Chains A and B, each alone.
Chain A
Amino acid sequence: AQSVSQHNHHVILSEAASLELGCNYSYGGTVNLFWYVQYPGQHLQLLLKYFSGDPLVKGIKGFEAEFIKSKFSFNLRKPSVQWSDTAEYFCAVYGQNFVFGPGTRLSVLP
């Protein structure tokens, strides 16, 4: 069965710090990978996605993620976070089904 895990439940950073949120999945076949963000009181929005090709994908607002097939990972990164990045971040995988991870809450202190 497919599953998605995210390494951290809650991450607290100061502005300008670098961010890396871990995501691992279990599925043996071809996958499509996504990171979604949910700002307080707002819709879930797509940050970035990987379907094929270059394993380093760039998304909106300076975010990027790297697909490492051998590690079944799709970690999200941003070199310098801002207070406005405070949100809940969800990793999602489409293999056999669309499965979301449990989410990581990011709090950025001004």
Chain B
Amino acid sequence: EADIYQTPRYLVIGTGKKITLECSQTMGHDKMYWYQQDPGMELHLIHYSYGVNSTEKGDLSSESTVSRIRTEHFPLTLESARPSHTSQYLCASSEFGQTTYEQYFGPGTRLTVT
């Protein structure tokens, strides 16, 4: 079944640790996104990609980095986590073309940095 997956679902780590949040989709979508969402708040776009080897920064400044080596995989990395990074991170994907731009969302990773 075509879907979008995120791991881990929950993560609690100490300050200064390096972490990678995984996102994979099996829908063959070209475009992928990372959003940051605090509880009950709006979504902020932090990174997106049009396809393999394409990465762009979003509207919200972020200390994270992303890579897109394979179509289905779009991991997000924090080199040195800080308490200010505590948030929920949502991954999404969409087709990239003329007819549809609907985004499909993963379940999210809730990150707590202590």
Contact = CB atoms under 8 A, between A and B. Distances in A.
Contacts, number: 41
Contacts of A101: 42
Contact of A43 (B42, B43, B102, B106): B106
B101 A102 contact: no
Interface string B61-95: 00000000000000000000000000000101010
B101 A32 contact: yes
B18 to A, nearest CB: 27
Interface residues of B, number: 20
A94 B108 contact: no
B101 A44 contact: no
B107 interface: yes
B33 A98 contact: yes
Q: Describe A's contact surface by its main secondary structure.
A: strand
Contacts of B103: 34, 46, 92, 98
A105 B101 contact: no
A103 B42 contact: yes
A100 B101 contact: no
Given A44-B90, A98-B103, A90 B40 contact: no
Interface of A: 32, 34, 36, 42-46, 49, 51, 88, 90, 92, 94, 97-98, 100-103, 105
